[in-house]
């Protein structure tokens, strides 16, 4: 079997630009019907990074794709941060597995806003994520949204970036919420946070290659 293809740019400025994928737009009726729907995980054993969103929005649930709303900046940040060689979109999500990347959610059910989720749902989502990590053994888990992470794992003082405790044998990183509603992060600043994670992931992959085996952290 040929080796898995990976994105290799080392600096955000070096990543080649690509066309913006055309959005898929559901109707108002389809959005209303999307409440409570789930989106299948995009996951495989031994990923470099398993990205974990909070829960699907109605737009994403209606089209059956992760981070599906056009205003969501996950896909541009992923590209500009060096994880993908071209700009992907929700309809291209299956390509991520070829780059060693996957996507899941803390809470499976779709809502209009993340604020509709209860603390108990987020805590249960944290336990479910831990089980997935132990089963699929990614090198890193990146939770997208620090507020949800704090509630899900009872880490009230957690900050963005690398988390010292790890998760289920994987390294653990917290990224900002890429929603367009997150005014604290410009597209450039958001891309920089993704690039920081990618640099650590790339360094860890080199270390695993030198040692001839997997390097995991945390408990």
List, by residue number, the catalytic residues. 55, 66
The residue to which tokens 């559901």 are assigned: 26
Backbone phi, psi, residue 11, to 5°:
-130, 145
- Please state, in angstroms and as integers, the Cα–Cα distance from residue 10 to each residue in 196, 201, 205, following that order: 10, 11, 13
> What is the number of other CB atoms lying within 10 angstroms of the CB of residue 23?
14
CB < 8 Å & 24+ apart, contacts of 164-167: 165/218, 165/219, 166/216, 166/217, 166/218, 166/219, 167/129, 167/130, 167/133, 167/141, 167/218
Q: Are 218 and 173 in contact (CB under 8 A)?
A: no
């Amino acid at each position: 079997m040929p080796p898995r293809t990976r994105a290799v740019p080392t600096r955000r400025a070096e990543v080649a630009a690509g066309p913006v994928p055309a959005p898929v737009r559901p109707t108002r009726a389809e959005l209303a019907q999307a409440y409570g729907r789930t989106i299948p995980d995009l996951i495989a054993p031994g990923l470099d990074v398993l990205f974990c969103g909070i829960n699907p929005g109605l737009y994403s649930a209606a089209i059956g794709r992760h981070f599906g709303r056009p205003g969501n900046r996950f896909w541009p940040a992923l590209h500009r941060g060096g994880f993908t060689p071209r700009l992907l979109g929700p309809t291209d999500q299956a390509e991520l597995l070829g780059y060693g990347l996957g996507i899941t959610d803390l809470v499976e059910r779709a809502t209009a806003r993340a604020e509709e989720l209860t603390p108990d749902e987020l805590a249960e989502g944290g336990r479910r994520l831990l089980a997935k990590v132990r089963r699929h053994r990614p090198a890193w888990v990146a939770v997208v949204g620090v507020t949800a992470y704090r509630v899900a794992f009872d880490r009230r003082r957690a900050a963005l970036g690398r988390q010292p405790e790890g998760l289920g044998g994987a390294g653990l990183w917290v990224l900002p919420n890429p929603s367009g509603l997150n005014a604290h992060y410009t597209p450039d600043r958001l891309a920089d946070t993704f690039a920081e994670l990618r640099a650590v992931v790339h360094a860890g992959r080199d270390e695993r290659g030198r040692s001839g085996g997997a390097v995991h952290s945390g408990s």
